[in-house]
Amino acid sequence: MKDHMLHNRIREIRKAKNLTLADISGSVGISIAYLSDIERGNRHGTAGTIQRIADALGVSVADLEVA
Protein backbone atom coordinates (compact mmCIF):
# COMPACT_ATOMS: atom_id res chain seq x y z
CA MET A 1 0.00 0.00 0.00
CA LYS A 2 1.35 3.39 -0.88
CA ASP A 3 1.59 5.41 2.32
CA HIS A 4 1.00 8.79 0.67
CA MET A 5 -2.32 7.56 -0.69
CA LEU A 6 -3.25 5.97 2.62
CA HIS A 7 -2.90 9.05 4.77
CA ASN A 8 -4.73 11.21 2.24
CA ARG A 9 -7.61 8.73 2.06
CA ILE A 10 -7.93 8.45 5.83
CA ARG A 11 -8.25 12.22 6.17
CA GLU A 12 -10.55 12.51 3.14
CA ILE A 13 -12.96 9.82 4.35
CA ARG A 14 -12.92 11.09 7.95
CA LYS A 15 -13.77 14.62 6.85
CA ALA A 16 -16.43 13.43 4.39
CA LYS A 17 -18.13 11.66 7.29
CA ASN A 18 -17.82 14.76 9.49
CA LEU A 19 -15.75 12.88 12.05
CA THR A 20 -13.07 14.49 14.16
CA LEU A 21 -9.64 13.15 14.97
CA ALA A 22 -10.98 12.62 18.50
CA ASP A 23 -13.91 10.55 17.21
CA ILE A 24 -11.68 8.15 15.32
CA SER A 25 -8.76 8.02 17.74
CA GLY A 26 -11.11 7.16 20.59
CA SER A 27 -12.69 4.33 18.60
CA VAL A 28 -9.32 3.00 17.53
CA GLY A 29 -7.63 3.34 20.91
CA ILE A 30 -4.78 5.59 19.76
CA SER A 31 -3.95 9.17 20.62
CA ILE A 32 -5.18 12.11 18.57
CA ALA A 33 -1.55 13.06 17.97
CA TYR A 34 -0.72 9.59 16.59
CA LEU A 35 -3.72 9.62 14.25
CA SER A 36 -2.85 13.14 13.13
CA ASP A 37 0.70 11.99 12.39
CA ILE A 38 -0.65 9.09 10.32
CA GLU A 39 -2.93 11.44 8.37
CA ARG A 40 -0.04 13.80 7.68
CA GLY A 41 2.22 10.96 6.60
CA ASN A 42 4.66 11.52 9.45
CA ARG A 43 4.08 8.08 10.97
CA HIS A 44 3.04 4.73 9.63
CA GLY A 45 0.47 2.71 11.51
CA THR A 46 0.77 -1.02 11.92
CA ALA A 47 -1.48 -3.25 9.85
CA GLY A 48 -3.68 -3.72 12.92
CA THR A 49 -3.95 0.01 13.53
CA ILE A 50 -4.85 0.68 9.89
CA GLN A 51 -7.51 -2.05 10.08
CA ARG A 52 -8.99 -0.48 13.22
CA ILE A 53 -8.98 2.96 11.56
CA ALA A 54 -10.78 1.51 8.54
CA ASP A 55 -13.32 -0.16 10.86
CA ALA A 56 -13.89 3.11 12.73
CA LEU A 57 -14.46 4.88 9.40
CA GLY A 58 -16.85 2.14 8.27
CA VAL A 59 -14.75 1.22 5.23
CA SER A 60 -12.44 -1.59 4.20
CA VAL A 61 -8.67 -1.29 4.14
CA ALA A 62 -8.97 -1.63 0.35
CA ASP A 63 -11.09 1.54 0.33
CA LEU A 64 -8.15 3.37 1.91
CA GLU A 65 -5.90 2.28 -0.96
CA VAL A 66 -8.05 3.83 -3.69
CA ALA A 67 -6.73 7.16 -4.93
Among 17, 29, 26, smallest CA distance to 59 is for 17
Domain range for residue 56? 3-65
Query: Into how many domains does the chain fold?
Result: 1
> For the whole model, what pTM was predicted?
0.89
Residue 54's pLDDT is 97
pLDDT tens figures, 48-62? 999 999 999 999 999
CATH code of the domain covering residue 44: 1.10.260.40
Counting Cβ atoms within 10 Å, is residue 62 exposed (0-12), middle (13-18) or buried (19+)?
Answer: exposed
Angle between helices 21-28 and 32-40 (to 10 degrees): 110
